[in-house]
Structure 1
Amino acid sequence: MWLAIVLTVLPTLLYVTFLWWLDRYEKEPWPLLLAVFVWGAVPAVALALLAELPNTASTLGFDRGSQPVWYAPLVEEPLKALALFGIYMFFRYEFDGVLDGIIYGALIGFGFAMTENAIYFASRGGSITSLLWLRVVLFGFNHAFYTSIIGVALGMIRYERRRWVVVVMQPLSLILAVVFHALHNMTISYRFPGVLIAWLISSGGVLIVVLVAIIAWRKERYWIDLELVEEIRCGFIDQATYQTVRSTRRRVQSQWEALFRGGWRAVQTVRTRHHLLTELAFLKYQLRIGDVHCRPADLYPLRRRILEVHEDF
């Protein structure tokens, strides 16, 4: 059991670190990140088991031959998506676009995969080398990929005003996640050629999600460029601060300088200022396009907080 935990937790930490790096400009709050990860790791798995109480082994893939290939995806994907829809509905101010959808969705998937793999390894016993390569290495991103499909869709409709698009995209993304999951279950049952086909499909899907994330980076940088230029003109920030906030490389460089100059507290102050200025840019863009979930009055406390952090620095 301890070996199973180690073999699942360590790769999960590595994958989550990659996600943390992927979210470059505005890091999501730790409480929400932890909440969605825990949802995927505990309640989602538990509910999936309860959904197949007479045959709980099948839900986690122990006995694929006793059920249709679509049954487990049809149970698991909606359960994982519940937390994602919850963030989108009740914490909309923290859901800025496609990249946030990928981050939250993938975290849910990594949490689910971690628990699923731990149970799977512990139940098998003996040599688990081949299982480790299949479930953690070759297909370690699968659950994150499936749920991030829904996250991408929610990010795309974040600023959509056409009601029919919103109504169609949400169930369509869930159906797509179920289809990809079922396709994996079907192909993997055909041994070597099936494993190869399943890997090509999942790897291609993960690559597409990463490319979408890169496009989202560019979009978020465009928001920063567009909105913070005005802050230079009105004297709220200077040119050097603007150039630092718009560049992840310069952000890291300024944090290292702060570390040597004032220690960890100075690093936290610099990070907070960068984060708040990014939030300011995002909020101004949301107001510019008429986002109904934002108010002009939200700008004032945010600007005041930025000035307070600047005084501390």
Structure 2
Amino acid sequence: MALVPSAVLLWLFVSSDKYPEPAGALISSFLLGVLIVLCIYLVYPFLSLVESALPPDNPYLLGLGHALLMAAIPEECFKLIVLRRYCVNLRAFDEPMDGIVYGVTVSLGFATAENLLFVMEGGMGVAVGRAFLAVPCHALVGAIMGYYVGRAAFARKERTALYLKALLLPILFHALYDFPPMSFRMAERIGTAIPGPTAIGLNVLFGAVIFVMVRYVASITRRMKAQQREGKSPGFGFSRVMAARVRVDHELRRSRLKRWMKAYREESGPMDLLFAALCLMGVFCALAGAARMGSPGDPLSRLSLAAAVFFFVYGIGFAARGMGKLTARMVRERKGTDGSR
């Protein structure tokens, strides 16, 4: 129940793409979405400190603060970082529709990890509720973010405005979605009863937000699929500007460190090394989880050990590919510099 909703939603969005994405790119994006959970835990103490400044007796301000600070802002920011710094730089990212596919993939990676944590703690009732509400919400906001990221990747101008929309709109929808249930939860925590008309208004707001998100995502997905059916090329005629790719200046002599730093800015190899480090973090977290589960024969302990092995193998692949890219890049630049002399 914790995994099936993400698998179904991911299949629906991936299968709607006329030009299918490579399985490796989708798996990498999904795993990066899973690792966002680790990033949230790293910043959680700082966010809790900020939230502690809110009035302790107001359930609405507490609910809004929790929805924004603990959920919407950090989660959507990390998702945008993955989309902007990794997915957009993939060679397979060759049309605006890919933004929706990768946005949903990253969001569902995070939603799957988060769902597992909640379901293991709350049981089947939590699994059923989140299967129809929380997981689809993550997919919807991921599609909205990916839509604007895909447009920005192929836009000739106004790219900054599109990236701002890719961040602010998902934060807005996410915060509005979380605000009603968080308000009820905070009211229960502080022992305050929410009046009947206010409770009805919060429930209406909750339903309206879901309705608007579904209609919005249906509209933008239809628009992208219509462009694909018109028989246009994958890039739809736009001039693709790869992020952080500049021409190499062979006339300047650089030290080895400067050449490596330039390769860091120009190539995706360093991103592979970063993801290898994140996979290593995943190994340690999985091993720590296995140790907390108890005996080696515990099914959850075995699952954690299997996750650790998976992250280790995937991290080794990332590290090897990243080092290979950096080495090849430096060799090419050195040959070009020697030839210019």
| TM-score between both structures, scaled by the size of structure 1 | 0.61
Contact 1:105 1:148 in 2 (8 A): yes
Whether contact under 8 Å (1:138, 1:199) holds in the other structure is: no
The answer as to whether partners of 1:98 and 1:156 remain within 8 angstroms in 2 is yes
- 1:46 to 2:46 alignment: no
Choose the corresponding residue for 2:149, options 145, 154, 164: 154
Matched, 1:215 2:215: no
Distance 1:45 1:199 in 2: 27
Q: Which residue of 1 aligns with 2:115?
A: 117
Percent identity between the two aligned chains: 21
Distance in 1 (CA, whole Å) between partners of 2:165 and 2:19 is 28
Counterpart contact for 2:111–2:135, Cα < 8 Å: yes
Confirm or deny: 8 A CA contact 1:139 1:199 kept in the other structure: no
Q: Give the partner amino acid of 1:180.
A: F
Match of 1:29 among 22, 30, 50: 22
Q: Which residue of 2 aligns with 1:182?
A: 175
Query: d(CA) in 2 for partners of 1:95 and 1:106?
Result: 14
Confirm or deny: 8 A CA contact 2:67 2:182 kept in the other structure. Answer: no
Structure 1 match to 2:89: 90
Counterpart Cα distance in 2 of 1:122 and 1:66:
26
Measure the CA separation in 2 of the matches of 1:103 and 1:150: 10
Q: CA RMSD in A?
A: 2.9
Q: Kindly provide the CA deviation profile for residues 254-311 of structure 1, in whole angstroms up to 9, marking residues without a partner as x.
A: xxxxxxxxxxxxxxxxxxxxxxxxxxx436x54xx55456xxxxxxxxxxxxxxxxxx
Gaps of 5+ in 2: 52-61, 185-198, 243-341
Cα distance change of structure 1 residues 153 and 118 upon mapping to structure 2, 3 Å threshold: same
Partners of 1:33 and 1:168 lie apart in 2 by 27
Question: Which is richer in helix?
Answer: 1
Q: What is the alpha-carbon distance in structure 2 between the residues aligned to residue 203 and residue 97 of structure 1? A: 28
Q: Report how far residue 66 of structure 1 moved.
A: 11
In 2: Cα distance, 1:169 partner to 1:20 partner: 23
Q: Deviations over 1:195-219 (max 9, x none)?
A: 4532331232133212211211111
Corresponding residue for residue 237 of structure 1 = none
174 and 39 in structure 1: CA distance in 2 versus 1, 3 angstrom threshold = same
The one-character-per-residue Cα deviations of 1:26-69 (angstroms, maximum 9, x if unpaired) are 0011111111111112x10111011114788xx9xxxx769533
How much has 1:10 moved relative to structure 2? 1.6
Q: Contact conserved, 2:155 with 2:239, CA < 8 A, in 1? A: no
1:143 paired residue number: 138
TM-score, normalised on structure 2?
A: 0.56
Q: 1:159 to 1:49 in 2, by over 3 A?
A: same
